[in-house]
Structure 1
Amino acid sequence: MSMDKTGYEIPEQMRDFAEKSVDQARKAFDDFMGATHKAVSNVEDSASAVQAGAADVNKKALTYAEEHVNAAFKFAQDLVKAGSVEDMMKLQQDYLRGQMEAIGEQAREFSNSATKAVQDAAKAAQKK
């Protein structure tokens, strides 16, 4: 059992249960993402030039969602292993800071991809 300065105790059984729950949820998510990526790849294989831009945007969105869930799982795993409330607070601050940085970068990339998809679709429409 771990105890911090406030006397807060995290029972070992609770820690083990939480870790197993996170691991089970992680496996279920990985299985789901594997099937989703396969479905997206199948759609992309049959997509036309105009649909390819939209497929790229969709794939980016899926990748971003997966990155956020991965970060949340890592945060949950780290939180379960934290030895004190202070450790938990630091983990939360680091997680939130990392998520905000990732969201900013992903928003820029997503905007660029969406703009390119619209431009490619407009070019393809003009050729018809």
Structure 2
Amino acid sequence: MADKQPGFEIPEQMREFADKSMDQARKAFDDFMSATQKAVTKVEDSTSAMQSGASDINKKAMEYAEEHMNSAFDFAQKLVRAGDANEMLELHKEYMRKQMETLGEQARELSDKASKTAQDASKATKP
């Protein structure tokens, strides 16, 4: 006494609609993934530009530190060899003047490098 139930058939229109919906969903997902990959690439490019620029700035800062240390040692040697207090004062005056000029030039150069790094990173993120 088995009851036979009529088979349930999905209308053709419904299948077409479901098929079309799946295609649209797949396209939307593919578009999303493509946009995501582009965004990740831009971030990586920007990060790479920033890291490269920061590395250059760090190297330059180390060069400056070495220059300053050498200058300080040279100054100390001259002081040791000075004949009197007046000569020591002149040496100190000249050392300070030279250091201030050097620091100004170095600050400008580091500022220029930092600006260039920021511009490069900005360019890396533009389409």
Measured in 2, the distance between the counterparts of 1:49 and 1:112 equals 15
Aligned positions, number? 81
Does residue 110 (structure 1) correspond to residue 87 (structure 2)? The answer is no
Deviation of 1:88 after TM superposition, in Å, equals: 0.5
Q: TM-score, normalised by structure 1?
A: 0.58
Question: In percent, how many aligned pairs have the same letter?
Answer: 57
Contact 1:78–1:91 (Cα < 8 Å) also in 2? yes
Measured in 1, the distance between the counterparts of 2:125 and 2:64 equals 29
Measured in 1, the distance between the counterparts of 2:118 and 2:49 equals 12
Larger RCO, structure (CA 8 Å, separation 6 or more): 2
Kindly report which structure 2 residues correspond to 1:116-127, keeping only aligned pairs within 5 A, or say none. 116-126=116-126
Measured in 1, the distance between the counterparts of 2:72 and 2:97 equals 13
Gaps of 5+ in 2: 1-47
Q: TM-score, normalised by structure 2?
A: 0.59
Gaps of 5+ in 1: 1-47
Does residue 78 (structure 1) correspond to residue 78 (structure 2)? The answer is yes
CA deviation profile, 1:54-74 (whole Å, cap 9, x unmatched): 111111111111111111111
2:83 partner SS: coil
Measured in 2, the distance between the counterparts of 1:61 and 1:121 equals 20
Instruction: Read off the aligned partner of 1:54 and give its amino acid letter.
Output: A
Q: Which residue of 2 aligns with 1:59?
A: 59
Measured in 1, the distance between the counterparts of 2:55 and 2:116 equals 12
- Look at both structures and tell me which one has the larger radius of gyration over its CA atoms: 2
Contact 1:57–1:117 (Cα < 8 Å) also in 2? no
1:79 partner SS: helix
